[in-house]
Amino acid sequence: MHGLAGRATAQAVPLLDIKRIYLEPAAAELARGQEILSQWPDAEHIEVASHWNIPELSGDEGNVGRWVRIKTEALVLGIKKSLTARPNGRSADFIAPSTANGCAMACAYCYVPRRKGYSNPITAFANIDQITGYLERHIRRQGAKPAPNQCDSAAWVYDIGENSDCSVDALISANVADLVRLFRDQPTAKASFATKYVNPDLLDLDPRGRTRIRFSLMPERMAKLVDIRTSPIAHRIAAIDHFVEAGYEVQVNFSPVIVTDGWLQDWAELLQQLDDGIHDMAKQQLAAEVIFLTHNEQLHEVNLGWHPRAEEVLWRPDLQEFKTSQNGQRNVRYRSFDKRRYQHQFEALVYETLPYCPIRYAF
């Protein structure tokens, strides 16, 4: 029995208490859709033409006061229509087709609401067989990886959680379990996803080293302010050894790095906490990604309506500069010259405290 079994993350509000399921009729006809619907037999069913266009959930700024409630009570069941594996090259070689998007957690800096509107509760896709079939064919077409890169030394890496948190998605359906089972039999590829939630059920999936789970970490003081409805940082660190023992490759994301007064000291304490909290088996396979905060003007305005205290550290015109994104939105990031300095300071701190932990990439 894994040491995490039975551990529940303390929540003032339950993470999921589904009362309404918005569903595409075709999704409800599939076996996975029926499995999902059976979990909440008392939930109201609301048919929709498309999981992308649900006015009472997405695109309505008036929802800001009900942000967390919507995430808790609403679920969308849909069909993933566009099946593509997009080249990436940073954290993964490819971004796999999503089996879900949206999230029940509510991190104040999350980029996902920018893409699908405001609260953005979880959408689960029922056509899992089409998705896994596409992935299996895509992996086969790649053949063996010709040379190591920053994603992995030998395997093609597929990020399976770009627009959701797979640990939370696994509370809703077996989609994540199906992906882990797919990749454990792929000698040339592995799955990867980042998470802020400790789900002990994932320990029983027998990934055989072919799924990389990346626990996102930041100093606890900052996490309490901006990582809303997530597992506490101490729980994430405590989970690392258990997931390594269960057959996962476990890495960490230091993300987002948010610059405030005393930020380096806070991170020094977090890095020491990590070093003290994991055993040699975990340390021998550890690697890290470092991602400095990028924020968004539109999300800033929304956040002011539900969590203005977070914006005191996320929206810092005195430290940031604007950059127009590919979709035309105005993002802010730390000024280039200063960011390079911050990055050098941070990397030096990591190598001093965790000399066994390479940084796969920093951004």
139 membership: H or E segment, kind and range: helix 128-142
Q: Are strands 189-195 and 211-217 parallel, antiparallel or unpaired?
A: parallel
Instruction: Name the pLDDT band for 5 (thresholds 50, 70, 90).
Output: very low
Instruction: Name the pLDDT band for 1 (thresholds 50, 70, 90).
Output: very low
- Residue 97, SS3? coil
Token code pair at residue 315: 């929206």
pLDDT, residue 329, reads 74
pLDDT tens by residue, 247-256: 999 999 999 9
pLDDT tens by residue, 177-236: 999 999 999 999 999 999 999 999 999 999 999 999 999 999 999 999 999 999 999 999
Q: Position of tokens 């100093």? A: 219
pLDDT tens by residue, 93-137: 999 999 999 999 999 998 765 555 567 899 999 999 999 999 999
- Assess whether pLDDT exceeds 70 at residue 257: yes
Distance CA 236, CA 252 (A): 10
Out of 1-15, 135-149, 234-248, 254-268, least confident range: 1-15
- Assess whether pLDDT exceeds 70 at residue 163: yes
**Are the CB atoms for 349 and 329 separated by under 8 Å?**
no
- Which conformational region is residue 189 in: left (phi greater than 0), alpha (psi within -120 to 50 degrees), or beta? beta
**Are the CB atoms for 362 and 347 separated by under 8 Å?**
yes
pLDDT tens by residue, 16-73: 999 999 999 999 999 999 999 999 999 999 999 999 878 777 655 556 667 788 899 9
Q: Which residues pair with 123 in a beta bridge?
A: 76, 101
Mean pLDDT of 84-101: 96
Task: List the chain domain ranges.
Answer: 20-362
Residues 6+ apart with CB under 8 A from 64: 118, 119, 302, 305, 306
Mean pLDDT of 263-292: 98
The amino acid present at 179, given as its one-letter code, is L
The amino acid present at 230, given as its one-letter code, is T
- Assess whether pLDDT exceeds 60 at residue 7: no
- The two most distant CA atoms of the chain are separated, in Å, by 55
- Residue 357, SS3? coil
Instruction: Give me the phi and psi of 273, to 5 degrees please.
Output: -60, -40
Provide long-range contacts, Cβ within 8 A and 24+ apart, for 80-84.
80/125, 80/127, 80/130, 80/131, 83/130, 83/131, 83/134
Mean pLDDT of 313-323: 96
Helix, strand, coil content of the chain in percent (nearest 5):
40, 20, 40
What is the second-level CATH architecture of the domain 20-362? Alpha-Beta Horseshoe (3.80)
pLDDT, residue 28, reads 97
Distance CA 64, CA 62 (A): 5
Mean pLDDT of 76-94: 96
pLDDT, residue 80, reads 97
C-alpha distance across the termini of the chain, in Å: 38
**Percent of the chain with pLDDT strictly greater than 90:** 82
Output the pTM of the full model.
0.94
Instruction: Name the pLDDT band for 11 (thresholds 50, 70, 90).
Output: very low
Distance CA 249, CA 211 (A): 6
Distance CA 346, CA 339 (A): 10
pLDDT, residue 218, reads 98
**Are the CB atoms for 177 and 100 separated by under 8 Å?**
no
Distance CA 222, CA 110 (A): 15
pLDDT, residue 6, reads 40
What's the per-residue H, E or C state across 262-330?
CHHHHHHHHHHHHHHHCCHHHHHCCCEEEEECEEEHHHHHHHCCCCHHHHHHHCCCCCEEEEECCCCCE
